Structure 1
Amino acid sequence: WQERQSDPGRWHATAIREMSHTLARLNAPEHTCRRRALGNLFDRATLQDMRPDVEDHVRGLLDALAERLRADGEADLVPTVSERLPVRTVGHWLGIPAEHHAHILDFTHRQVHAQELLPTKSELAVSAAATAEMRAYFTDLIRRRRARPGDDVVSRWIRHWDAQYPGDRAAADRALYHLVMFITIASLETTATLLSTMVWLLLRDPGRWSWLRGHPEHVDNAIDEALRYDPPIHLNTRVAADHTVLAGVPVAKDTMVHVLYGAANHDPRRNEDPHTFDVQRKGSHLTFGGGAHYCLGAALARLEARTLLTHLLKRFPDLALASGPAYAPRMVFRRMTSLKVTT
């Protein structure tokens, strides 16, 4: 579809073409093959193994938050905690050195412009530069892991794709690059924004924070309500592969269809009184997508959110907002850039 479009500046842009090879943009049978090779990426056993590390990451980050609160009287939750937890979690899991985390976050924030609905030429240029850095980093990561393989996740993927492409190292490396790159960057901004959003929504009404401290059994419900009320991704785009009818509306082949997650989550036919944030709602949402493209990292994001919120409630019973959130000027990826808190 992209190859047939007449706007080379947009659809043939370097960063956009790069993301076209990731799982989120692939169709069957290639998508099926790659997804099947991963299996249940974050199954119960894997999450159980990761849980102690996530706990350690959270404790360390909350130490830093407490230190900042003592020193300044307030702290910014986003750069101090929310953005650091996902990159520490996935970085540790993939064996990425901690000293590289800041660089990965930096090019991820710049590359994501290409995934916006209406990127400008200057934003596409920023994304192109970030894509070059991203490609260089993950290509080198795979090269170094090949030189010193172990029993880590990336080494296991290398062995799998080498077996899938015997005698064709270049093809195996392409598959590995798009897999490792996508798994890493897809787990960063979205989870970071979820972590910040759930705290923001709970602290907007101080009674919610106090109530949830007394009813920790509702932590998972609070996370799901945050996912419903203000999803990290507000819309996604698909293209009709053929003439079809969607909910009674004719959709011609090649038509772009924008799936508005935020609007769907606030549909009163699905969630009564949808504009009220209700921790006990137990409603439904499309925030993780659905079907073949259901979010690979949904269970991991929930683990990180549950661990962070549980520790925050215990350690900072009097946590309060110092100011409202600030956001990057985007339409698709709703990245929160700042949330000042105090005690």
Structure 2
Amino acid sequence: MGDVIRAPWNAYFVTGFDACSKVLRGRNWLAPDFAWQERQEDARQWDAIATQEMTKTLARLNAPEHTCQRRSLGNLFDRSTIQRLTPQVEEHVTRLLDDLAEKLRWGEADFVSTVSEQLPISTIGTWLGVPPEDYAHILEITHNQVHAQELLPTKSELAVSEEATLRLRAYFTEMVKQRRANPSNDVVTGWIHTWDAMAPDREAADEILYRLTMFVTIASLETTATLLSSMVSLLLSEPGRWEWLQEHPGYIDAAVDEVLRYDPPIQINTRVAADDTVLAGVPIAKDAMVHVVFGAANHDPRRNENPDAFDIMRTGTHLTFGGGVHYCLGAALARLEARTLLTQLLKRFPTLRAVTAPSYASRLVFRRVTSMNVAI
């Protein structure tokens, strides 16, 4: 249909790889922040509490606010941080695969609830100092909150998302408060010191700290869990693929990248035009929304030959982690979790097989695998 297609509302879908890359990396394409929302004819559609709360997070900010907050985090998962986290991730994977092995002794097991959803919350929870007894609570409210980030959420979905948003605010506000009272040598305490020096008062600092801590947590969970589930599903879907990768472990990183290209956990990201412009030959007016469709871009045959084939040997590229100033903060961590899990799975479960196809939540923007049974 073309690289840029008109949507049924005042927006465009962007599907071509080069056009999507231009939007993600271009300085004249902005996140739909509060200033943009206030300029819309019907600003009421943005008044939902959950929508308002997400607009305050890093993903919806533009310069200079985005620049300031992102710099305060530093390079979250640089090489040295990944090296420090690797033994912890390996321990989490070993523990979760022990649980999987125990369940598989009695037949089938749901890979999603046993492993895929547990590894990201264990990893980010340990890093931020979230008590393990709170993991289930965080997962539940994250699943419910994500409705606010869909393209066209219904009133009932926004109501569910609103309740979850308020629970997230309460949880992470209390977390920052407790960390202030009991500082330690951890990431959140470091952020507190940084923002105490930057913000005009403690109340303003704590508001920013709540948003950063909440955003980093929820951004790390469903996306990585879906990547892990999709990875196992795709590698088990064709006879011989699992066995081949066992014999060629040097291609594990390539397999993870092909999963990211083939089935990105986030399907759509929205930007708005900062000025009247032309994108792939299509005139776009200032403030018009464009929806970058990651799956379509990654399957553009001009960028990846035979794009609908899952090919571990592929040397193509993808946009799954975005680009430009909003490039995914947790890309390196997601790769670490996927690589570590796949490495151990191949060694411990050489005869692993899928019993049921993945079941998905009914969503457009954030894919979520809800269940997938495996056996040995």
TM normalised by structure 2 equals: 0.89
Aligned position for 2:262: 229
Contact persistence 1:74–1:341 (CA under 8 A): yes
Query: What residue is the counterpart of 2:162 in the other structure?
Result: 128
SS of 1:250's equivalent? strand
Q: Which residue of 2 aligns with 1:108?
A: 142
Q: Give the number of aligned pairs.
A: 341
How far apart, CA to CA, are the structure 2 residues paired with 1:333 and 1:189? Answer: 8
**What SS does the aligned partner of 2:234 have?**
helix
Deviation at 1:10, TM superposition (A): 2.9
Three-state SS of the structure 1 residue aligned to 2:320 is coil
Find the aligned partners of 1:64 and 1:321 in 2 and give their Cα distance.
Answer: 17
Give the CA deviation at 1:247. Answer: 2.1
User: What is the aligned counterpart of 1:163 among 197, 215, 221?
Assistant: 197
Aligned to 1:59: 94
Task: Specify the code of the residue in structure 1 equivalent to 2:194.
Answer: H
1:315 aligned partner: 348
Aligned residue number for residue 85 of structure 1: 119
C-alpha distance in structure 2 between counterparts of 1:141 and 1:210, whole Å: 45
TM-score by length of 1: 0.98
Structure showing greater relative contact order (alpha-carbon pairs closer than 8 Å, 6 or more residues apart): 2
- Aligned mates of 1:78, 1:110 — CA distance in 2: 17
Flag structure 1 segments of 5+ consecutive residues without an equivalent.
none
SS of structure 1 residue aligned to 2:291: strand
Indicate the SS of the match to 1:337. Answer: strand
Aligned to 1:339: 372
SS at structure 2 position matched to 1:188: helix
- 1:173 maps to 206
- 1:244: how far off? 1.3
For structure 2, which runs of at least 5 residues remain unmatched after alignment? 1-35
Superposed, 1:1-343 pairs within 5 Å as 1-7=36-42, 10-71=45-106, 73-166=107-200, 168-343=201-376
| 8 A Cα contact 2:141 2:167, kept in partner | yes
Q: Within 1, Cα distance between the matches of 2:306 and 2:374? A: 29
Counterparts of 1:188 and 1:36, CA distance in 2: 22
RMSD over equivalenced CA pairs, Å? 0.9
- Paired-residue identity, %: 69
SS of equivalent residue, structure 1 residue 341: strand
Letter in 2 for 1:39: G
Q: Report the residue type matching 1:19 in the other structure.
A: M
